[in-house]
């Protein structure tokens, strides 16, 4: 299981560290099962710290289980995670029962920030954010703005940093 997950992770562009982390989680699941067994992605999502879900369909399925919960949304590149990001995420979670974080894809970050960015690739940014207890779901979006994602999710609360004017917040009118 360990070798298979490390090989798969490396083949899919993950860092050795990230692939090893996932392989370790998978091995923990495998030894907890009776007899010979396989470990699939759902096992990892159900049992590990990787609570992130990458597709809207999966997020909606999980949110439907949490009926009558206030859904919060925030977004950004989160390329170089810093204390300001953590403060924003903590504040966003204080307004919501379920916090969904949209992150710009690598190509979207390049358009916004220029060549040489992102410093941290989208898969690693997704894992880092997903490991935070205050974050319930992380979704990568390809566009420059998360407007389509906001329209699909229809959150109760939209949170952005204090450096934004209300009129500048994408999705503000919809929420």
Placement of tokens 């979006």 in the chain? 141
Q: What is the structure's pLDDT at 48?
A: 45
* Surface-to-core class of residue 125, CB atoms within 10 Å of its CB (0-12 exposed, 13-18 middle, 19+ buried): buried
* SS3 state at 75: strand
Backbone angles phi, psi at 14, to 5 degrees: -80, 155
What are the residues whose beta carbons fall under 8 Å from the beta carbon of 11, sequence distance 6 or more? none
Q: What is the structure's pLDDT at 53?
A: 47
97 and 135 in contact (C-beta within 8 Å)? no
Per-residue pLDDT of the chain (175 residues; tens, 9 = 90+): 889 888 988 888 878 877 887 888 888 788 877 777 788 776 776 554 444 445 666 666 666 666 678 899 999 999 999 999 999 999 999 999 889 999 999 999 999 999 999 999 998 898 889 888 899 889 999 988 999 999 988 899 999 987 878 788 888 888 8
Q: What is the structure's pLDDT at 83?
A: 94
């Amino acid at each position: 299981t360990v070798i298979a997950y490390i090989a798969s992770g490396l083949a899919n562009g993950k860092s050795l560290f990230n692939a090893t982390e996932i392989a370790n989680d998978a091995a923990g699941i495998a030894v907890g099962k009776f007899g010979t067994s396989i470990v699939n992605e759902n096992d990892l999502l159900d049992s590990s710290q990787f609570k992130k879900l990458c597709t809207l369909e999966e997020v909606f399925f999980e949110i439907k289980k949490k009926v009558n919960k206030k859904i919060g949304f925030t977004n950004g590149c989160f390329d170089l995670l810093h204390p300001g990001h953590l403060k924003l995420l903590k504040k966003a979670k204080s307004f919501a029962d379920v916090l969904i974080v949209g992150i710009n894809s690598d190509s979207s970050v390049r358009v916004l920030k220029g060549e040489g960015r992102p410093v941290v690739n989208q898969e690693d940014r997704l894992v880092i954010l997903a490991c935070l207890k205050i974050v319930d779901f992380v979704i990568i979006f390809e566009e420059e703005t998360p407007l389509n994602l906001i329209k699909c999710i229809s959150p109760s609360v939209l949170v952005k940093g204090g450096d934004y004017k209300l009129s500048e917040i994408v999705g503000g009118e919809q929420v």
